[in-house]
Structure formats: structure tokens, C-alpha cells
Amino acid sequence: MTKKDFLTIGDMSAEEVRTLLDRSIALKAGDDAMKCPLIGKSVGLFFEKPSTRTRVSFEVGIYQLGAQPVYLSPKELQLGRGETIGDTARTLSRYLHGMVMRVYSHRSAVEFARHATIPVINGLSDLHHPCQALADAMTVLEYKGRLEGVRVAYIGDGNNVANSLVEIAARTGIDFVIASPSGYGPDAALLEKSRAAGTGNITLVDDPREAAENADVLYTDVWVSMGQEGEAEEKAKKFRSYQINAELLRLAKSDAVVLHCLPAIRGQEITDEVMDGPQSAVFDQAENRMHTEKALLEYLVR
């Protein structure tokens, strides 16, 4: 059987995305009780970046599916002494049944997947965060009962999370609007490709109030991603008005929910009042990382 990778949401069809979301909801409801579909298998976790949710959700999810998680730090592998990614991928494919990669450069995940004979999952790269987007869509589905036509307003930096949200909106019919300062929107080529190929309505604006107006969901992320700390001061000035606060939330629908992929810089991109308020679904969203990742592992690791 030909192996399948999950490096971007674009690696899945609309039908596959919906199947994964339906399975995720079933898993959360306890459908996996007393079942270990991946028993006897091992899944590698290659992490260049620090992590809370990605590492713990994958480790626990892998264990619950009956498989063994194997954590791999680049400093502990021969990659640190000059072995190529290709040789590492070929070798680890002989021991493992799947690999999760959290890397600085998306090219590293692509290169590893090109040489590996096992499924490779992008746990985060500089360009995409597809596992997060699956959990986000699951959370919207839980709260709104549907995805098609739901207005999701993303306020902030057009980063890896925003790129993956663009792709999942195109595959699920989400009405996705992103508000970012000029020059800080999502990847332009990806945006146009998703608009042309998808069913969702994807809009880019520079006014956060326009994006939030009548929204079903307000979503934000940190303004400065890992590896971009040198831009912190400049971004703090440009993004000052791109904060999800009580004033912005009042522009959304009365039953709107608030999402943040975490970690949050409280008081910067989101206020405590909103993040801890009754409309926040932030920690349900964090939990859903594990359920969607379990569904993904079930689907890919055979």
C-alpha cells in the first residue's frame, strides 16, 4: 500500500477531512474504549522546537491507540553530526511505523517525507500547522454543528496557523476572513490557490472590526512565532489594534466563540477577560488536538 503523508491540509481531500473530523468526534465520545488499533507499532516524534500541546497530545494519543511513542531530539540523533535527512529517514523507516515532525523549516519535513517509506505528519513548520487546523475545525463543528457557511474571523499575523486555516476553509466551506496589517497576511500563492479550488469564501482585510462584524468565531494567535523573536518590537506596534478584547467581541454574533491555538501572550493578542470568559472555547480546542491526532494516526498508520 502506498504511504500517505500529512504535511499540509492540502494533502487531504474534502472528503478525507470530513471523515477525519467525524472520527475525531467519535473518539472524543469514547468510541475507542478498550480498542488498541495500533498495538505493536511505534511512532517517532522528531521535535526541533519546544512544545506543550503537540508533544503531549501526540504522546498520549499514540499510547491510547496501543502504539509506542519514541521521542527524538535532533541533538540526540546523528543529524547533529552531519548525517543527511535522507539517510536518517531511510533508517528510521526500518524501525518506525510513522513519524511526527515539529521543525523550523517546512523543507525539512518535505525532504524527510521524500525519503521515508512511512507516513510523515507535520506537527508544525514555519509554513503550515495542519494538525492545529484539524482541531480548530473540530471545535467549530462541536460548537456550531456545521462548518459550511460559518464565519470564522482570524485576527492577527498571517502565519503558519493562518495558512492551514485557509486550506481547511477551502475544503469545508467555512466563510473565512483574516484581518492582518498590510504585508502580514497569509501566503499569497496559497491564498489564491485555495480560493480557486475550494468551496469556502476566503477574504483578506486589514480592519479587525470589519472581520469581527457578525462573526460566528473569533480566532487569534501570537503575533511573534518561534524563531521570529527579533521582530517582536516592530510587530507590537503594528498589531496593537489587532487584539481580541471585549469591544471586538461585541461586534461578533452574541453566541460567537473565541479560539486561540496557544500558547497565548495574555494582554497582547487577547485579553484575560475574553480568554477566560464564557464565550471562550480555547481549552476545548486544545483538548481536541489529541482527538484529531488520534483519528489522523488511525488513518495513516496501518
Catalytic pick from 261, 268, 285, 291?
Answer: 261
Half-sphere exposure (Cβ direction) of 269: Cα atoms closer than 13 Å: 24
Annotated active-site residue in 55, 128, 289, 291: 289
Global pTM reads 0.96
Sign (positive or negative) of CA dihedral 172, 173, 175, 177: positive
Query: Do 103 and 109 touch, CB atoms closer than 8 A?
Result: yes
Q: Is 106 a catalytic residue?
A: no
Q: Is 260 annotated as catalytic?
A: no
What pLDDT was estimated at residue 126?
96
**Catalytic: which of 23, 53, 97, 129?**
129
Locate 138 and state its grid cell. Answer: 473540530
Is 102 one of the annotated active-site residues of the chain? yes
Torsion angle in degrees (nearest 10) through CA of 12, 16, 17, 18: 160
* Catalytic one of 151, 221, 243, 268: 221
pLDDT of residue 34: 64
Cβ density class 51-88: b for 16+ within 10 Å, e for less: bebbbebbbebbebbebbbbebeeeeeebeeeeebeeb
Burial class (CB in 10 A: 0-12, 13-18, 19+), 16: middle
Domains of the chain: 9-128+288-300 (3.40.50.1370), 132-286 (3.40.50.1370)
**Of 93, 97, 100, which Cα lies nearest the Cα of 115?**
93
The phi, psi pair for 185, rounded to 5°, reads: -80, 180
Q: Out of 132, 243, 268, 285, pick the active-site residue.
A: 132
Q: Answer yes or no: 289 catalytic.
A: yes
What DSSP line would sit under 52-120, residue for residue?
A: SHHHHHHHHHHHHTT-EEEEE-GGGSGGGGT--HHHHHHHHTTT-SEEEEE-S-HHHHHHHHHH-SS-E
Per-position pLDDT tens, the chain of length 302: 689 999 999 999 999 999 999 999 999 999 876 689 999 999 999 999 999 999 999 999 999 999 999 999 988 899 877 899 999 999 999 999 999 999 999 999 999 999 999 999 999 999 999 999 999 999 999 999 999 999 999 999 999 999 999 999 999 999 999 999 999 999 999 999 999 988 889 999 999 999 999 999 999 999 987 767 778 888 989 999 999 999 999 999 999 999 999 999 999 999 999 999 999 999 999 999 999 999 999 999 98
pLDDT computed for residue 284 by the predictor: 98
**What SS3 state is found at 156?**
coil
Q: Is 129 a catalytic residue?
A: yes
Active site residue 285: no
Catalytic residue selected from 102, 106, 260, 291: 102
The SS3 assignment for 205 reads strand
Contact between residue 205 and residue 178 where contact means Cβ atoms under 8 Å apart: yes
